[in-house]
Structure 1
Amino acid sequence: MAPLTFHPDHVVDKSFDYVICGGGTAGLTLAARLTEDPSITVAVLEAGEHNIGEPLIDVPGQFAKTFGNLKFDWSFPTVPQKHSLNKSYLWQRGKGLGGSSAMNFYAWTKPPAADIDAIEALGNPGWNWAEYSKYTRLSETFHPAQKDQTDIFPHTHDLAFRGESGPIQVTAPYSVYTIDKLFQETLVNKGLKAIKDPYGGDITGTWMASGNLDPKSWTRSYAATAYYMPNRERKNLVVLTEATVARILFADAPGKELTATGVEFIHGGNKFKVHAKKEVILSAGAIKSAQILELSGIGRKEILESIGVECKIDLRGVGQNVQDHTFLGVSFELNSNGNHQTYDLMRDPKYAAEAMRLHAELKGMHRIGITSFAYFPLTSATPEAPALIQRAANSVEALKKSGTLEPGQAEILDKQVEMLRDDAVPDLELIAFPGYFTSITAPEEGKSYVTILIVLNHPFSHGTIHAISNDPFAPPAIDPAYFENDNDLENLVQHIKYIRTMSETEPWKSAIVREMDPGPNCQTDEEIRSEIHLRLSWNMLAHRRNDLNAATGKAGCRFPELKVYGTTNLRVVDVGIIPIHLATHTHATAYVIGEKAADLITGRVRE
């Protein structure tokens, strides 16, 4: 049996058809699909450890247990945010095989069709909902909810929207059905539509999410276990972990497009090279891919000169157009009459130990997932919507007149305004977490809680990611420019105000004892704004921003083939290619990018 990963001798000074920088979600997907052809050779370089078989990854129901652990998490800091109390935030990102698919909360969600069609409308042919739907079904095998689940809650599915034979196992996680019932019924009573199955392009309403869990073992199904492990015996696939990419190597060709010939990487403190006969592919995630490009001499000339790197291509879009999917929560104490078996039980060490024992028997709390979601337009949240939408439109017009926008950014912002005006496109997102998940006050022993998480889906604030050193181990400067555009802060304010109106509607009204955080001392809009600044402490997982502005064909990598401008054979294959943020959590989308890129590279055409 082949080892989990390989020795440097299998890579150093060897030549492969394709060298993939990054063994994360999209990178392992791409590697698995390319090596289906035994004549194609692939080497994958992953900076993290292999981490396969780690219980903190495999066993669900351990939300955030890997966060801050440098074995699993890059824990990238942002620069101080001048529009958010000058605070620095941590960006949790997966480190090791599988990338962020190994550490997210395994909620399997997909965007509205309009968000994906917007990518094509920005000048990227072939990147539309029909293509997305095809490739996402290719990535998954769906297992409907089991009878013991449907007996207590009406899980509904449309199998036409689901995959039947893909590597990622997807099912309905076990849920705290009393919380789902409260959340779903309340939002329907408030006027939202109940969605039978949110995986066909319509997510505007309230619905139950699946999770990427294997119901045969109730373990996480993710890139390393689903795309790599079944294929690691292939003679044409080599995966080297603890290999940090230092830079892309190019052939000397003055005045011509650059041709990548290989990669310089660091392993065990020593520098080595691996050669590419056909292509080098960056799949290091939106943060590291931008940094590697700059360390390789591709990016803004002034940035490269400041870190002592020779500029080979003055490509203005590298590291620009960063959009982040920020979140925070509003927590409530539940009425004790509700018999809620929430995640709060896991704070008891004895209960937690018993839950882990039960998991070995495929029982207990460790089968839990985050299941209740709602997405809806601003017009469904507040009568102030028309004025707020016009306010956002006015801010975009002012930016366009300022002369400060990057290439292609005006088109992206115009598209965001267009989507904001479209009631079929959701602007707000709520998630019901069945437990206490805020930090101002402390939960009390023996009580049950629910936290409504709020998420900013289409941020108008666009930031940057740039290298600040030619040392590949030095983290780049991440500046998401939180709340630089005040419409983003206002969006979160409206989330919180909407959640508070739920207390006027049954069954939520009778089920809630009190709001814990932000609590009764936070009432006015200005007080809510202050709380958001204080409590916006970290962003959601799994690649929620893009750093290559690919929308207009000039800024970063050119669609649809994903090649970096000015090069013949260097591609970017990760969520950093997405030019406009999506109303979803981007885990499932990363597989789509890997799957579609494999067909673009090989020329395969799927019906």
Structure 2
Amino acid sequence: MPILSLQEVVQKSFDYIVIGGGTAGLALAGRLSEEPTVSVLVLEAGQANLDDPKIVMPAQFGQTFGNPQYDWAFNTVKQKHTNNKIHLWSRGKALGGTSTMNFYCWSKPTKTDIDAIERLGNPGWNWTEFIKYSRKSESFHLPAQEQLDVYPHTYNPNFRGLSGPIHTSLAPQFHTIDKLMQETLVNKGIKPVEDPYGGDISGGWIASANIDPKGWKRSYSASGYLQPNLHRPNLNVLTDALVARIVFEDKLTPAADRTASAVEFLFGDGSAIHTVKANREVIVSAGTINSPKVLELSGIGQSQILSSFGLETLVDLPGVGENVQEHVWSPVSFELDDTRGVLHQTLDLLKNPDTAAKHLALYAEGKGLFRSCISSFSFLPIQSCDLPDTPSLIALAEKEAEAAKAQGSAGMGEQVDIWLEILKNKKEPDFEIVALPCVKIALAPAEPSKHYFTLLALLNHPLSRGTIHIQSKDPRVHPEIDPRYFERQIDLEIILQEIKYIRSWKETEPWKSGIVREMDPGPKYQTDDELREYIRNSLNTTWHTVGSCSMLPREKQGVVDPQLKVYGTSNVRVVDISIIPLHIAAHTQTSAYAIGEKAANIIKATFSGKN
């Protein structure tokens, strides 16, 4: 079995050591191990948790959150612009990483967003490359006739992968909510998108989910890239292995890059430091939160931060842990009208133990609510929403862009210019609205016999920038996370306008007839200032953090180059979504898989023909 014991790893050597068995890390390891002459070791700090029902059965949104067996349960520092709230940042602590606990949203960015990565100084990181590697990761299953009978799902098979490790499908449950939202959008003048996986996502559409319809189980990094390949003798995994640092050889000359020779780690609850040797490369794939932590503990980062914890600076790299960007959202919840002959089913039903037991039995038959996921989406340009405040919003954006450029680090100006260009483009999405099939906050009490759902008003392109840095040299101590939510006022104002746009639906059919009342924010919040306060109090993270190891030129606060190699090193790469330098309008799992797939090809090409 390639899931090893401690004794099978300590003081041994492997060609590639992958730090982190998460979404991108297992994709990378699975692809590297396709070459039988190389050895791959994955060091995962969590437990295996393979085939765990809490992970693989859908419709259990958030059930593993806060549980230390499954969740790192990071916390931010107090956010002064959200009334000093501390925000929970859940991340998967298992083989598969956060793909074990995401909400199954299979979405891909716009062509513009991906091409922006190349524009920022990264040749080869463009839409053509992205779609090639994204399709390589996916096996799309066509909707069944029973689904087409209740909702006219549209798709373009040319945009979908059909033979990859991650199975995607159209979940069958929430067609009544899909119709309500999507038909209202059309009547508001918003175009329906035939298939949102070809680079144009502006409009309304039904998303696929990373659920395998053969058994209706979560399809994720461990089930797709690891478990089918456990027979490979060159693919090795050690769980409960928390990396303490990367070990580097002494430099032969002052100008030479640092070469990694080993990785030190803690095992289980022990305090002893163990070592495993790297023959070729060390690949950091610990996620946007832990990847900068690993680099800093290894002596790579801002010298002032490292020296404050008694760490020697081996590579002075100011961009480590900087440029952090996160998606956030605020909820607008509604009570559905059940009196017009429409049979709604929402996840609120599962709060009743008897109903949950009934649907659990149905799940064993491939039926019922436990096949559910989030399905109805809309990504919208501000200009398409016909809001009276749009001119003033654009004016504020221009003013804040200039301030961000003046106060930001080297290279920030180019990011801000692209950000503003997208915001002002009448075809590029600024709003994201997602239908969550349950009540989210319920300032107004929810009743067990009724049905509810929530629209999430999401911010996809934040202007605010945060940081993630170590706060101890002890690897068991979580880093300090400061996303600096709403440090730029424009981020708050965009969500405010989204909520006002959602409220404008009340005069449009079928919304007008299908909704009984708005639960949250509700009638208490009417003025702009009242809604701003509601947003500050209700704000949630989307767990899509990027940027802490940005792929940018070194002089522009970059951490990795277009080959994903850490500047100042000869054989250390970062492979996860921390490399994305400018945030994208998409939920991020597809990007993590594409990064893992592309990284594998980069590394294979590097060592092609070498023994």
| Alignment TM-score, normalising by the size of structure 1 | 0.97
Provide the C-alpha distance between the structure 2 equivalents of 1:442 and 1:125, rounded to a whole number of angstroms.
53
2:275 is aligned to: 273
- State the distance in 2 between where 1:439 and 1:40 align: 54
Q: Percent identity?
A: 52
Q: How does 1:15-414 map to 2 (within 5 A)?
A: 15-253=13-251, 255=254, 256-268=256-268, 269=270, 270-337=272-339, 338-381=342-385, 382-401=387-406, 404-414=407-417
Name the SS for the 1:336 alignment partner. Answer: coil
Pairing 1:547–2:548 present: yes
Secondary structure of 1:417's partner? Answer: helix
Q: Equivalent residue of 1:410, what SS?
A: helix
CA displacement at 1:597 relative to structure 2: 0.1
Q: 1:441 offset after TM fit, Å?
A: 3.0
Look up the match of 2:6.
Answer: 8
Is contact 2:398–2:420 with CA below 8 Å preserved after alignment?
yes
**Structure-2 separation of matches of 1:399 and 1:437:** 33
In 2: Cα distance, 1:14 partner to 1:386 partner: 63
Q: Deviations over 1:65-122 (max 9, x none)?
A: 1111111111100011122211111101111100000001111111111100111111
Find the partner of 1:575 among 577, 589, 604: 577
SS for the counterpart of 1:353 is helix
Which of residues 460, 463, 466 in structure 2 aligns to 1:460? 463
CA deviations over 1:348-406 (Å, ceiling 9, x no partner): 110101111111111111111110000011112323223212211211212333xx312
Q: Please give the secondary structure, in 1, of the residue aligned with 2:548.
A: coil
- In the alignment, structure 1 segments of 5+ residues that lack a partner are none
> 1:482 aligned to 2:485?
yes
Aligned amino acid, residue 25 of structure 1 = T
Equivalent-residue separation in structure 1 for 2:172 and 2:62 (angstroms): 18
Q: How many Å apart are 1:604 and its aligned residue?
A: 8.4
* Cα distance in 2, alignment partners of residues 489 and 141 from structure 1: 38
SS state of the match for residue 276, structure 2? strand
CA contact 1:374–1:430 (8 Å) conserved in 2: yes
2:35 maps to amino acid = D
Residue 439 of structure 1: how far off its partner (Å): 4.2
Question: Which residue identity is paired with 1:569?
Answer: N
Deviations 1:535-557 (A, max 9, x none): 11x3113x432212323343233
1:507 corresponds in structure 2 to 510
Shift in Å, 1:205: 0.2
Given that residues 544 and 585 in structure 1 are in contact (C-alpha distance below 8 angstroms), is that contact kept between their aligned partners in structure 2? Answer: no
Distance 1:278 1:510 in 2: 64
Other-structure match for 1:516: 519
- d(CA) in 2 for partners of 1:441, 1:266: 48
Q: Secondary structure at the match of 1:558?
A: coil
Q: Is the CA contact (8 Å cut-off) linking 2:549 and 2:574 kept in structure 1? A: no
CA contact 1:125–1:559 (8 Å) conserved in 2: no
Q: Deviations over 1:29-59 (max 9, x none)?
A: 0000000000111100000000101101010
Counterparts of 1:293 and 1:569 in 2: how far apart (Å)? 13
Checking the alignment, whether the CA contact within 8 Å between 1:317 and 1:407 is kept in structure 2 is no
Separation in 1, partners of 2:585, 2:30 = 28
Retained in 1: the 8 A contact 2:22–2:286?
A: yes
Q: Where does residue 443 of structure 1 map in the other structure?
A: 446
Q: Is the 8 A contact 1:412 1:551 kept in 2?
A: no
- 1:539 & 1:102 partners in 2: Cα distance? 17
Runs of 4+ in 1 over 4 A off after TM superposition: none
Q: Distance in 2 between matches of 1:119 and 1:356?
A: 44
CA–CA distance in structure 1, aligned partners of residues 89 and 131 of structure 2 = 29
Moved more, 576-585 or 304-313: 304-313
Indicate if the aligned counterparts of 2:107 and 2:197 stay in contact, CA closer than 8 A. yes
Structure 2 Cα separation of the partners of residues 601 and 206 of structure 1: 38
Q: Give 1:341 deviation, angstroms.
A: 1.5
Helix, strand or coil at the partner of 2:541: coil
1:442, distance to aligned residue in structure 2 (A): 2.9
User: Shift in Å at residue 133 of structure 1?
Assistant: 0.5
Distance 1:322 1:454 in 2: 21
Q: Which amino acid in structure 2 is aligned with residue 288 of structure 1?
A: N
Partners in 1 of 2:560 and 2:214 — Cα distance?
Answer: 41
**TM-score under structure 2 normalisation?**
0.96
- Return the alpha-carbon distance in structure 2 between the equivalents of residues 599 and 553 of structure 1: 23
1:89 and 1:552 map into 2 onto residues whose CA distance is 31
Tell me by how many angstroms 1:443 deviates.
Answer: 1.3
Identify which range, 333-342 or 463-472, moves more after superposition.
333-342
User: C-alpha deviations, 1:168-218, integer Å up to 9, x for none?
Assistant: 011101131111000000001101110011011110000000001111110
Instruction: Look up the equivalent residue of 1:42 and give its one-letter code.
Output: V
Secondary structure of 2:168's aligned partner: strand
Task: Tell me the SS of whatever aligns to 2:150.
Answer: coil
